[in-house]
């Protein structure tokens, strides 16, 4: 935070983690399944990323895509993943849980926070699905979350900017969701947040020479097999430079 801000980059590969650090990221959020908004990464990925970067690595704890209403068995998975992430060097954890009526699941969050400690914890963009964000933020503060990741309960941080400004005055709420080189200046100037979160990715063509056009690995909406998205060093540096010129 020497420059007055911190840039967090969400990544799902070792290459992206290395690129994020090279570009100036101050923290990494390590995930799998970014096409679903991020799920729990493998512990092998965490181990290798920790060997390759020096910046703090916060690990996503999300057992599946979809909503943030979890069954008892999914909760057991989350607790096990938290323990393993701590064992393999996580510097912090990232999770979120809601009740069926769109409120913070205080009972579950309290239980998961206890497993996470003494590591810092971020409540992720499950926050953007809450019924009342002001009340939800007060709840998270009382529970002891160190930060909240939000796009202002809208499709991107730019659209949710007015709410973000209100929330950032209450707590350390990193901006996230749809942040690009084109809108970062407007977003940072329009809020009091000192952290922002992005993926800063570009598509890279696969190295495969033989390609079968008749088969897709996964559902029809899944990412194409022969295009790989990775954090782009140049994009990370550009976003970093924009923030430095503003804050």
pLDDT tens by residue, the chain, 247 residues: 444 678 899 999 999 999 999 999 999 999 999 888 899 999 999 999 999 999 999 999 999 999 999 999 999 999 999 999 999 999 999 999 999 999 999 999 999 999 999 999 999 989 999 999 999 999 999 999 998 888 888 877 778 788 887 787 666 555 545 566 666 667 666 666 778 888 888 888 889 899 888 777 766 555 665 677 888 898 888 888 877 775 4
Looking at residue 23, what is its pLDDT? 92
Handedness of CA 169, 141, 4, 198 (dihedral sign): negative
* Every domain of the chain and the residues it spans: 6-246
Fold of 6-246: TIM Barrel (3.20.20)
- Is residue 133 a contact partner of residue 167, using CB atoms and an 8 Å limit? yes
Looking at residue 39, what is its pLDDT? 97
Number of continuous H segments (helices) and E segments (strands) in the chain: 8, 10
Place of tokens 């393993």: 84
Beta bridge partners of 28: 9, 57
- Is residue 141 a contact partner of residue 166, using CB atoms and an 8 Å limit? no
Looking at residue 227, what is its pLDDT? 76
Looking at residue 1, what is its pLDDT? 43
Looking at residue 2, what is its pLDDT? 45
Looking at residue 60, what is its pLDDT? 98
Looking at residue 237, what is its pLDDT? 87
Within its chain, how far is the Cα of 247 from the centroid?
22
């Amino acid at each position: 935070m020497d420059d007055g801000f911190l840039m967090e980059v969400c990544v799902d590969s070792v290459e992206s983690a290395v690129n994020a650090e090279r570009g100036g990221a101050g923290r990494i959020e390590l995930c799998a399944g970014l096409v679903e908004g991020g799920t729990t990464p493998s512990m092998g990925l965490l181990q290798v990323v920790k060997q390759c970067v020096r910046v703090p690595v916060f690990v996503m704890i999300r057992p599946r895509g979809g909503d943030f209403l979890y069954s008892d068995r999914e909760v057991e998975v989350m607790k096990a993943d938290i323990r393993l992430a701590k064992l393999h060097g996580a510097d912090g954890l990232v999770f979120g849980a809601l009740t069926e009526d769109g409120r913070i699941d205080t009972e579950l969050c309290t239980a998961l926070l206890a497993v996470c400690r003494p590591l810092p914890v971020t409540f992720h963009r499950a926050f953007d699905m809450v019924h009342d964000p002001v009340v939800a933020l007060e709840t998270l503060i009382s529970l002891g979350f160190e930060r909240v990741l939000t796009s202002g309960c809208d499709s991107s941080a730019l659209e949710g900017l007015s709410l973000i400004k209100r929330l950032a005055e209450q707590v350390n709420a990193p901006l996230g969701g749809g942040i690009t080189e084109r809108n970062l200046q407007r977003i940072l100037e329009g809020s009091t947040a000192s952290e922002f979160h992005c993926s800063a990715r570009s598509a890279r063509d696969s190295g495969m020479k033989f390609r079968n056009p008749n088969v897709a690995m996964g559902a029809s909406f899944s990412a194409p097999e022969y295009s790989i998205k990775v954090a782009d060093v140049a994009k990370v540096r550009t976003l970093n430079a924009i923030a430095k010129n503003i804050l």
